[in-house]
Amino acid sequence: MKRRVVVTGIGWVTPLGRGVEHVWSNLLAGKSGIDTITRFDAAAFPVRIAGEVKDFNAEDWLERTEARRTDRFVQYAVAAAAMAAEDASLSVPVADPYRAGAIVGSGAGGMETIEHGQHQLTEKGPHRVPPMSIPRMMINAAAHHVARRFGFRGPTLGVVQACATGAAAVATAAEQIAFGRCDLALAGGTEASVTPLSVAAFSACGALSRRNEAPQSVCRPFDRDRDGFVMSEGSCVLVLESEEHARARGARIYAEVAGWGLTADVFHVTAPDPEATAAAKAIEFAIESAGETPEAVGYINAHGTSTAMNDPTETKAIHRALGACAQKPFVSSTKSMLGHMMGAAGAAEAAIAALAVHTRRLPPTINLQNPDPECALNHVANASIEAPDLRLALSNSFAFGGHNVVLALRRYAA
């Protein structure tokens, strides 16, 4: 029997800072976390901007030995999970660890570890490759360390769906809870992708904006002057629980994960299907599984990457799925402020959708000065707005490989 799944905690490590209230207030204020790259010397790179996590000390969240043995993507995940658990007022250890899971994914895993290991191999030989390289770089390391931190022994998975990873992790965890396989899960995504190889590779394939002179105005989803996405990093982890579990412990509930839809384009390894057929189906499936209709959708947190192809294709998907109702829901892309957090993006945007229905306030798409006629939607442009009647929100994630994940977040009513 399907059970209701609710969001009771949120943990954020982002270019806009950490913690629910801090990041949410920055998003509503339209602040940008994008700036010039400082983590490495990018002077010779065609792209020299990114959304970096600043002022992060791994030893605030992990013991010194564990911090030395983990890649940044794992450190971000553990920090976000710890903040989410605190936000949810979780008591640890839990009563039954086999009923609690950790489902945390990453698009690329330990890129810093991979790059360092390759350097050691080529410059100093095979005997100088660090012995912890594999445990540091493997994508499921994030889920392992989160589960170990909290003593969770239930479903522990490292989900990989490129830029839809975080959303897929939330959907997977929700399904585990909905069908009774566990009562509680820490779910989300994490990425530490601002590294020389990642920036060079995404730049080489033409995906990134090269407007290095004005970092905070570069990312402009749905604007006719957009020229590529801005790579970012960080983590978002949500505490998901069955409604019964959450209410039994008196938890504060942000929203209900009411539905989800997952589809595949099977079109191209990077480009979205220009007909947006499968993306539209993911939206339809999310609405249907929530037991709702297109008329009920009041807000969409768009994938909105600020690339030439993604934004009009996503617009077409929304119109295909919602039909005559496509101009009704407010739409914004918070990547305009956070940048593209890659494997963490879908979880961060699910959290934003949950907070939107909880607070009935909608963050904007900043830098939307000249809306593209091909992206005709009801945009929340440049300033946040109140949405007093908001009850149902969607969070879209459309990734390389044609992976489409859409989550439906509903205002909670007992």
Burial 159-198 (b: 16+ CB within 10 A, else e): bbbbbbbbbbbbbbbbbbbbeeebbbbbbbbbbbbbbbeb
Of 144, 152, 242, 143, the residue nearest 187 (C-alpha): 143
Q: What are phi and psi of 378, to 5 degrees?
A: -90, 75
Among this protein's residues, is 163 annotated catalytic? yes
Can you tell me the distance from the alpha carbon of 206 to that of 231, in angstroms, rounded to the nearest whole number? 12
Answer whether 392's CB lies under 8 Å from 410's CB. Answer: yes
- Given the residues 116, 144, 340, 403, select the one marked as catalytic: 340
Can you tell me the distance from the alpha carbon of 255 to that of 6, in angstroms, rounded to the nearest whole number? 6
- Given the residues 303, 358, 379, 403, select the one marked as catalytic: 303
Can you tell me the distance from the alpha carbon of 240 to that of 226, in angstroms, rounded to the nearest whole number? 35
- Residue appearing with tokens 């969770």: 152
Q: Is 119 left (phi over 0), alpha (psi -120 to 50) or beta?
A: alpha
Answer whether 409's CB lies under 8 Å from 240's CB. Answer: no
Answer whether 56's CB lies under 8 Å from 76's CB. Answer: yes
Answer whether 267's CB lies under 8 Å from 223's CB. Answer: no
Among this protein's residues, is 403 annotated catalytic? no
Helix (H, G, I), strand (E, B) or coil at 373: helix
Burial 271-304 (b: 16+ CB within 10 A, else e): ebbeebebbbbbbbbbbebbebebebbbbbbbbb
- Given the residues 116, 163, 236, 403, select the one marked as catalytic: 163
Among this protein's residues, is 303 annotated catalytic? yes
DSSP E strand stretches across 273-319? 297-301
Answer whether 198's CB lies under 8 Å from 111's CB. Answer: yes
Helix (H, G, I), strand (E, B) or coil at 57: coil
Catalytic residues: 163, 303, 340
